[in-house]
């Protein structure tokens, strides 16, 4: 009996020892391993410095030592972010609940991580992502519940998958997507509940029925098609496209703007609230359309001065030099003042544009816009979100308007703005997400602000940022120790 207890005691000791060693390896080895293989990139003119505390130890992993990263393009989704660098690498951070990061898993990404290469353009939707490869292939990942990426079944796609070729322009809406191909044809897929794909959400199918006497007769039955799970051609001669929440805009090569889908909040700018099943022309002389997705419509049009100059040049038989900048025209959803249009006739005309507005202390009408309004000049880029918007001027000045409850305007506070206010200078690109924002300055540095609950800012902090914060480091590999946080 004593021998039995002796053996049992030794067995327990060995079991506890093995469990302890296994726990130590599970917790600390990945931590040390990742430190040994991770490099922090500082955005300065100095060379990048490796922060590895075990740089003298040789591991079977690639060491990353390189110069400064230069960011060129950003796109903000609902709770995740995408950024593109000049070497063609795609960086992501934030929520990955539907696999939109394309990492092969649904674990959230806590820091800016490279997931794809040879990318030239990006577009983030609600829970899906699009990436345009250098050779013209369209790669998709994420939710496909409404067919928004059309990657086969209606299941989520956790790895990047090619779905189209010869693509030159992409746009991701809330739950639908667009792609413009080299021949100018526009292809669409996803949610079509409000005809936002530019095609009716139903079709008629011939069926054979029997009457009460047993005689057969042929009739047509209406079949609903509110979700399209394949890429279909919906328009031609398209240069750019915008995918909103429940409406869409297509810019044709002749400068005319066409719309489709919901018009409940005046997104068409025609003074009505009735939508269209098919593409309908609304304005002309358009240069570019907004990025992001919302229930507002924002476009950059030629100024009156530029139109007059083109007419004179045409009469004289001369060519005009194309100008990227133009006037910003807006219409649609404006409940949070994101269009920068003040509706209160009693508003103080001399009010400082930098002054914050507290809706609880100052009442004014925040009505939606049903006609196009000219609000800014010399604009080269505009990005809209459900409740806040950005416009970028030729001289690199960034203006913002709308909701700021999470600090998404980057003004340094949480007060909404109902006028366009300047929030940054020397800006190259900007993207408005659901409650957060991304910005690239002309020196190639990446800046973020707003909601960070899902790590969509990639700042390694859990709280919101009410002011613009520069991203000073990026992770070169997936975090094996995310539980350690």
Task: Please return the burial class of 64, using the count of CB atoms within 10 Å of its CB with bins 0-12, 13-18 and 19+.
Answer: middle
For residue 377, is it within any domain?
A: yes
For residue 27, is it within any domain?
A: no
For residue 327, is it within any domain?
A: yes
For residue 7, is it within any domain?
A: no
For residue 293, is it within any domain?
A: yes
DSSP 60-127: SS---------EEEEEE-SSEEEEEETTS-EEEEE--TTSTT-BSS-PPEEEEEEEE-SEEEEEE-SS
Contacts of 297 (CB under 8 A, 6+ apart): 242, 244, 247, 249, 259, 267, 268, 269, 290, 330, 331, 332
pLDDT digits (tens, 9 = 90+) for 359-375: 333 333 357 899 999 99
Give the chain's residues under pLDDT 50: 29-67, 345-365, 477-485
pLDDT in the model for residue 201? 80
State which residues form the domain around 415.
64-484
In Å, how far are 169, 346, 406 from 19, measured between CA atoms?
54, 73, 45
Nearest-CA neighbor of 151 among 129, 134, 171, 136?
A: 129
Q: How many domains are contained in the chain?
A: 1
pLDDT in the model for residue 28? 52
pLDDT in the model for residue 6? 74
pLDDT digits (tens, 9 = 90+) for 46-98: 222 222 222 222 222 222 333 478 999 999 999 999 999 999 999 999 999 99
pLDDT digits (tens, 9 = 90+) for 383-420: 999 999 999 999 999 999 999 999 999 999 999 999 99
pLDDT in the model for residue 355? 38
Containing H/E element for 265? none
For residue 6, is it within any domain?
A: no
CA dihedral 66, 474, 383, 391 (to 10 degrees): -70
For residue 134, is it within any domain?
A: yes
**For the stretch 206-244, what's the b/e string if a residue is b when 16 or more beta carbons lie within 10 angstroms of its beta carbon?**
eeeeeeeeeeeeeeeeeeeeebbbebeebbeebbbbbbb
Is the pTM value of this prediction over 0.85? no
In Å, how far are 175, 369, 385, 399 from 378, measured between CA atoms?
32, 22, 21, 12
**For the stretch 30-42, what's the b/e string if a residue is b when 16 or more beta carbons lie within 10 angstroms of its beta carbon?**
beebbebbbbebe
CA–CA distance, 237 with 257 (Å, rounded to integer):
12
CB-CB neighbours of 135 under 10 Å = 11
Task: Please return the burial class of 418, using the count of CB atoms within 10 Å of its CB with bins 0-12, 13-18 and 19+.
Answer: buried
pLDDT in the model for residue 475? 59
**Encoded tokens for 145:** 């519940």
CATH code of residue 353: 2.130.10.30
pLDDT in the model for residue 289? 95
For residue 426, is it within any domain?
A: yes
């Amino acid at each position: 009996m004593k021998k039995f207890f002796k053996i049992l005691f030794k067995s327990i000791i060995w079991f506890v020892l093995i469990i302890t060693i296994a726990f130590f390896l599970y917790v600390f080895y990945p931590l040390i391993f990742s430190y040994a293989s991770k490099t922090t990139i500082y955005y300065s003119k100095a060379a990048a410095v490796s922060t590895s505390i075990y740089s003298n130890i040789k591991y079977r992993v690639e060491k990353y030592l390189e110069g400064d990263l230069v960011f060129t393009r950003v796109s903000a989704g609902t709770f995740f972010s995408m950024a593109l660098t000049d070497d063609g690498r795609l960086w992501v951070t934030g929520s990955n609940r539907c696999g939109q990061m394309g990492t092969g898993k649904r674990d959230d990404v806590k820091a800016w991580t490279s997931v794809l290469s040879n990318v030239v353009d990006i577009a983030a939707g609600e829970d899906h992502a699009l990436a345009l490869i250098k050779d013209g292939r369209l790669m998709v990942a994420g939710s496909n519940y409404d067919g928004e990426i059309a990657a086969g079944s209606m299941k989520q796609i956790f790895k990047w998958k090619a779905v189209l070729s010869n693509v030159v322009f992409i746009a991701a809406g809330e739950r639908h997507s667009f792609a413009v191909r080299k021949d100018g044809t526009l292809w669409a897929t996803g949610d079509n509940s409000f005809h936002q794909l530019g095609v009716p959400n139903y079709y008629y199918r011939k069926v054979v029925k029997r009457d009460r006497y047993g005689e057969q007769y042929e009739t047509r039955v209406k079949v609903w098609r509110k979700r399209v799970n394949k890429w279909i051609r919906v328009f031609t001669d398209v240069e750019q496209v915008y995918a909103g929440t429940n409406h869409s805009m297509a810019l044709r090569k002749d400068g005319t703007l066409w719309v489709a889908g919901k018009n409940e909040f005046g997104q068409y700018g025609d003074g009505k609230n009735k939508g269209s099943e098919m593409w309908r022309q609304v304005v002309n002389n358009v240069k570019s359309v907004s990025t992001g997705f919302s229930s507002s419509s924002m476009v950059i049009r030629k100024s009156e001065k530029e139109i007059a100059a083109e007419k004179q040049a045409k009469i004289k038989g001369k060519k005009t030099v194309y100008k990227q900048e133009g006037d910003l025209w807006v219409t649609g959803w404006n409940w949070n003042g994101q269009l920068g249009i003040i509706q209160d006739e009693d508003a103080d005309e001399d009010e400082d544009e930098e002054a914050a507005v507290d809706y609880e202390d100052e009442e004014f009408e925040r009505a939606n816009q049903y006609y196009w309004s000219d609000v800014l000049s010399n604009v080269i880029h505009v990005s809209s979100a459900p409740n806040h918007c950005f416009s970028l001027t030729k001289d690199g000045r960034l203006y913002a308007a709308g909701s700021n409850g999470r600090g998404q305007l980057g003004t340094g506070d949480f007060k909404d703005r109902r006028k366009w206010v300047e929030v940054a200078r020397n800006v190259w690109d900007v993207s408005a997400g659901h409650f957060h924002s991304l910005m690239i300055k002309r020196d190639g540095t990446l800046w973020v602000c707003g909601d960070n609950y899902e790590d969509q800012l990639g700042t390694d902090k859990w709280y919101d940022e009410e002011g613009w914060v520069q991203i000073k480091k990026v992770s070169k590999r997936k975090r094996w120790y995310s539980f350690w946080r």
